[in-house]
Amino acid sequence: MKIIIVGAGIGGLEAARLLAYAGAEVFVVERAADAAHMRYDVTDDVDPSIFDRCGLPVPHGSFPKRDWTFVAPGGGVREMHEAAPDISVNRRELDRMLIIGAEKAGAEIVWGVECEGAIVEDGRVVGVKVDGEEAYADLVIDSAGMNSALKASLPGEMKITMHDDDEKFAVFRAYLKRNEGAEEPRYSDKVYLKHLGEKGISWVIRRGDADDVLIGAVGGLNIGDMNKRLEALRADDAGIGAKYEHGQTFFNIPVRFPATRAIAPGYAALGDAAYLTIPMLGSGIASALISAHLLAECVAPNHTCGDDALGMTSIENLWKYQVLLYKTFAEHCGVDVMKRGVLSLDDATLDLILTSDVLTNEEVCALAKGRTLSFGVGDLLSKAIKAGRHAFKLLPIAAILRRAKKAISVAENIPKEFDAAAVDAWERKLNKIVKGER
């Protein structure tokens, strides 16, 4: 079986390792000139158990994530303490490890080439156009991110899921050298929710003698608003300097529930291309790695099934991968409901949730990891008592949590076998619950 993977994303590189090791002929095409220019030089947090799950070592130089302090829209703060924190992983070190693994397994990585779109014949993806040339394969795997040109080139009748504008998170991120002699802030790792009224977050996280600064907004980031928020961060902490140590990067990441159609005959998407980030956080390392293993489970050549490339890359067989995605990441649908609900809440309600004792430390930690919350009648009564005269503000939150629970239930009931009518009905029902569509 010949496989072309478009984009040396985290999921794409892990899929290359697994599929090459299983005996497939694997080519990864990447537009970056080399590994050093492939990804921004930052750290991101991930549950360390994912590396054990995938049979990978923890990347060199990883370290435990420090506790965050949340800043509510009104300025109040809420500290949290995680008993089992994630680890902060350097993106480029993770890339280096995955590239070595893929090449050692036999995959070939072709650098500095641009994918211009898919080659489609008789309703099936049969290859890709790369730098004006045509390259054919039994399976094309999309690891080119949420704005994949490969995905955008597919014909509408394939019904591949595309994102809406309010499902992208536009981000500015940079490491800024700290000003020498500046007074240390009381809280070194702060996350500002709906910062300056924007639908998004800002954060300042200490990294030695530099600050990791992120400013992001759902839908898009205006440069003028970005600069205002950066100056507001500096007003809170005079140590945030103006000299860039590295970074100064703008990028988009998906913040929505998983693609309901991540597959088509001869095509499969994983990682950000399949919208597998945690909707509340945009974190996608773990889900990208897991999606690679789920896909390999369905399409890797093996001694039992042989190498029936046409059958293994049919929509009926690839639907097994789609089902595994939803059985694994159904909770992301509930988290998306919560994300949309939180962004719609007024500032006073958010202040109440964050700065009072309505939520326990464990519940705040769950939200920080992008998990859903579920309260019984007794829990809600207890929280209403804590909220006192503001208890009525909890009503919309209870409604959001009920909808989130329903979204997870519908997601888990994905049709087990591919049937066009059943899949269409399931998609409509899930979109209606998560997005509030009529």
Q: Is the pLDDT of residue 227 over 80?
A: yes
Would you state the pLDDT for residue 436? 82
Residue 284: pLDDT band with limits 50, 70, 90: very high
Domains of the chain: 2-64+90-164+255-329 (3.50.50.60), 166-254 (3.30.9.10), 332-435 (no CATH)
Residue 297: pLDDT band with limits 50, 70, 90: very high
Exposed e or buried b per residue across 145-183, where buried means at least 16 C-beta atoms within 10 angstroms of its C-beta: bbebbbbebbeeebbbbeeeeebbbbbbbbbbbbbeeee
Residue 307: pLDDT band with limits 50, 70, 90: low
Would you state the pLDDT for residue 396? 87
78-134 pLDDT per residue, tens: 999 999 999 999 999 999 999 999 999 999 999 999 999 999 999 999 999 999 999
Q: Give the span between the Cα atoms of 194 and 160, in whole angstroms.
A: 32
| Mean pLDDT in residue range 235-261 | 91
Beta-carbon contacts of residue 55 (< 8 Å; ≥ 6 apart): none
> What is the radius of gyration, based on Cα positions, of the chain?
22
Residue 387: pLDDT band with limits 50, 70, 90: confident
Q: Is the pLDDT of residue 376 over 70?
A: yes
Q: Is the pLDDT of residue 180 over 70?
A: yes
Q: Give the span between the Cα atoms of 334 and 225, in whole angstroms.
A: 30
The DSSP secondary structure of 249-271, one letter per residue, reads EEEEEE-SPPPS--EETTEEE-G
When mean pLDDT is compared across 32-41, 142-151, 259-268, 336-345, the lowest value belongs to 32-41
Would you state the pLDDT for residue 185? 87
Would you state the pLDDT for residue 362? 93
Report the Cα–Cα distance between both ends of the chain, in Å, rounded. 43
Crossing angle of helices 420-435 and 331-344, in 10° steps, is 30
| Helix, coil or strand: residue 418 | coil
Helices (H), 106-165: 149-152
> For the whole model, what pTM was predicted?
0.94
Would you state the pLDDT for residue 394? 85
| Mean pLDDT in residue range 352-367 | 90
When mean pLDDT is compared across 2-16, 30-44, 61-75, the lowest value belongs to 30-44
Element (H, E) at 213: strand 210-218
Whether the CB-CB separation of 211 and 247 falls below 8 Å is answered with no
Q: Is the pLDDT of residue 262 over 50?
A: yes
Mean pLDDT of the chain: 93
Residue with tokens 């995959």: 107
Whether the CB-CB separation of 143 and 15 falls below 8 Å is answered with yes
Spacing of C-alpha 321 from chain mean position:
18
How many other C-beta atoms lie within 10 A of the C-beta of residue 378? Answer: 8
